[in-house]
Structure 1
Amino acid sequence: MMHDVIIVGGSYAGLSAGLQLARARRKVLVIDAGLRRNRFAATSHGFLGQDGQAPGIIAAEGRSQLMEYPTVTWVQDSVVQAEAEQGGFSVRTQCNGGFQAKRLILATGVVDELPGIDGLQERWGKRVFHCPYCHGYELGQGRIGVLATSPLAMHHALMLPDWGSTTLFTNGVFTPNAEQQAQLDRRGVSVESAAVTRISGERADLELADGRIVQLDGVFTMSRTRLSPLAERLGCGRVDGPTGPYLHTDETRQTSVAGVFACGDASLAAGSVALAVAEGVRAGVGAHFSLING
């Protein structure tokens, strides 16, 4: 069966793209591995109408609504290969064989590569975060740490005083210059240069190399992000972002490969449910226009 569009990734961006195409009565196949980027977080914030809702509930409701459309098919699987062929694209999955479509939407998201500090991984999305807009308010103007992974930690450090008392842990990554230190002073940010060896406690206590323990209500840090290899195999162009590469797209969300569109965290150097849903709309509409125009 030749589908109109295969969407790789059934999280918020992929669901949103699929909804536009389903409402245009196009044959849509969504292939999803079930690994949402925000699966570690208990609640999602900043998405109008769903503020404070569990991320899994938002995704499940979105899928339920999408599957009400009779032209949509869902396959729970991982895509291991994708390539262009005459008249469209073919993809191969790990367990369910191959599928074909005229257009392809990559809503594959990104993988977070976290700092290698003991205790951080298990607190990711719970007490260690990347987005102040998503999680800062819930810390109740408490004690916030910024764990530097690069000089870009200045961005977090200058933002976060609006959400609580902020300390920048440079962790041997960089030393603020005079201008940066003046900016931190103006924002009331403390600077701690001792190395962080472990995160412990019920909240997020940072254990330092000199034996001190700094008790915090939450920690913000920047992960490095990694793209799915599918885009590279298809030849899609990339852009180097502040925390990792993302896919280059035009205003319709078409990549550098004709007929391949991208949306969500894979094509935007920022991550939130609201942004992913909005970008999914653009990719779904863009793919539909591409089908109309041949």
Structure 2
Amino acid sequence: MKYDVIIVGGSYAGMAAALQLIRARRSVLVIDAGLRRNRSASHSHGFLGQDGADPAEIAATARAQLHAYPTLTWIDETAQAVAGVKDAFVVTTADGRRHEGRRLLFAVGVTDTLPEIEGMTERWGKSIFHCPYCHGYELSQGTIGVIAAGPMSIHQAQLIPEWGAVTFLTNAAVALDADSRADLTARGVTTEATPIARIEGHADVVLVDGRTLSFAGLFTVSRNAPATPIAGLLGCELEETPFGSQIRTDATKETTAPGAFACGDAARVPHSVSLAVADGAWAGAQLHRSLVF
């Protein structure tokens, strides 16, 4: 069978795109490896109508609703290879099966590369975050630490005082000039230059001089890249952002490979569930139009 659209990635953006297409009675294959970016988070905030919901439940409900449409096919697998051209794409999954489609959509999400600090990875999405709009309110205006990871961290430290008293832990990752330092001071931000040894407890930062700074929560800027390089196998170009790299798309979400589209965190910044859903819905509509016109 040749599908109208093969979607690689079945998280929020991929499902939002699929919904537009199956409601237009188009045949859609979703290939999903089951690795949502926010799988470590227990609550999702800032998504209208779902504020505070478990992100796993949001995803499960969406998937169940998609399965009510007869033109959807869903495979829990990993897409390993892609080849072909517009109207004649082939995606090969890890089980060796080949799937044909007229259009492709890469909704593969991104990986987060965090600063190499002991204790950070296991707290990511629990007490260490990247988005204050998603997690800042729940810190109840408590003390917040911002751990520097690069130049964008200065902007993060400038913004986050809206949610609590901020200490900017530069950790030898950024050098503050006089203007930046004065700006942070004017915003009430405390700067801590002593390097970090590790993170313990809920959000306790142990410095190399033995001091421990305890926070209600921590923020840092992760470095992003598409979660799989599969789009590159088709020749899709990447572009740099302040947060890493993403798949280059035009206004219709089409990549540099004709007939192949991309959406969600892998193809836009900034990132959140609500923005991923919106981007996926737009991509789905544009994919449908590409099949019609």
Q: TM-score normalized by structure 1? A: 0.98
DSSP-derived class of the 2:65 partner: helix
Post-superposition Cα deviations, 1:15-38, rounded to whole Å, max 9, x if no partner, equal: 000000000000000000000000
Q: Distance in 2 between matches of 1:88 and 1:284?
A: 19
> 1:145-193, CA deviations, whole angstroms, 9 ceiling, x for partnerless residues?
0000112111110111010110000001122111101110111000000
Question: What residue number does 2:148 align with?
Answer: 148
Q: In 1, are the aligned partners of 2:86 and 2:259 still within 8 Å (CA)?
A: no
1:87 deviates by 3.1
1:221 maps to 2:189: no
Is 2:170–2:192's contact at 8 Å kept on the other side of the alignment? yes
User: Residue 171 of structure 1 aligns with which residue?
Assistant: 171
Q: Which residue of 1 aligns with 2:268?
A: 268
2:52 is the alignment partner of 1:83: no
Q: Which residue is 1:113 aligned to?
A: 113
Q: Which residue of 2 aligns with 1:287?
A: 287
1:209 corresponding residue in structure 2: 208
Mark the CA change 1:272 to 1:49 in structure 2 (over 3 Å): closer, same or farther: same
| Contact kept in structure 2, 1:106 and 1:260, CA below 8 Å | yes
User: What is aligned with 2:41?
Assistant: 41
Aligned equivalents of 1:87, 1:30: Cα separation in 2 = 17
1:88 Cα deviation after fit: 2.0
Aligned partners of 1:279 and 1:125: how far apart in 2? Answer: 22
Seen in structure 2, the aligned counterparts of structure 1 residues 118 and 86 have a Cα distance that, compared at 3 Å, is closer
Q: Which amino acid aligns with 1:292?
A: V
The CA distance in 2 between the partners of 1:88 and 1:186, in whole Å, is 58
3-state SS, counterpart of residue 61 of structure 1: helix
Instruction: Tell me the residue number matched to 2:67.
Output: 67
Per-residue deviation, 1:86: 7.0
Query: Per the alignment, in what secondary structure is the counterpart of residue 185 of structure 1?
Result: helix
| Greater alpha carbon shift after TM alignment, 11-20 vs 93-102 | 93-102
What is the CA-CA distance between 1:115 and the residue it aligns to? Answer: 1.4
Give the total of aligned pairs. Answer: 292
**1:120-159, aligned counterparts within 5 Å?**
120-159=120-159
> What letter is aligned with 2:47?
F
- Does the CA-based 8 Å contact 1:77-1:96 persist in structure 2? no
Deviation of the 1:250 alpha carbon = 1.2
What is the SS of the residue equivalent to 2:31?
strand
Tell me the distance in 1 between the aligned counterparts of 2:78 and 2:4. Answer: 20
Aligned equivalent of 1:195: 195
Cα distance in 1, alignment partners of residues 86 and 257 from structure 2: 14
Secondary structure of 1:161's counterpart equals: helix
**When the two structures are superposed, what TM-score results if normalisation uses the length of structure 2?**
0.98
- Do the aligned partners of 2:86 and 2:102 also contact (CA within 8 Å) in 1? no
Query: Match for residue 52 of structure 2?
Result: 52
Classify the secondary structure of the residue corresponding to 1:74.
strand
**CA deviation vs aligned residue, 1:35-64 (integer Å, no higher than 9, x gap):** 000001110000000000000000000101
In 1, the alpha carbon distance for the partners of 2:11 and 2:86 equals 29
Q: Quote the sequence identity (%).
A: 51
Other structure's SS at 1:239 match: strand
Q: Supply the distance in 1 between the matched residues of 2:188 and 2:164 (Cα, whole angstroms).
A: 10
Report deviation, 1:98.
1.1
In 2: Cα distance, 1:48 partner to 1:88 partner: 38
SS at match of 1:171: coil
Amino acid at match of 1:190: T
Contact 1:82 1:92 in 2 (8 A): yes
Partner residue of 2:12? 12
Cα distance in 1 between the residues matched to 2:265 and 2:103:
20
Deviation at 1:270, TM superposition (A): 1.6
Return the alpha-carbon distance in structure 2 between the equivalents of residues 269 and 252 of structure 1.
16
Which structure 2 residue ranges, 5 or more long, are not aligned?
none
Question: Is the Cα–Cα contact under 8 Å of residues 147 and 169 in structure 2 kept in the other structure?
Answer: yes
Cα shift at 1:213? 0.2
Unaligned runs of 5+ in 1: none
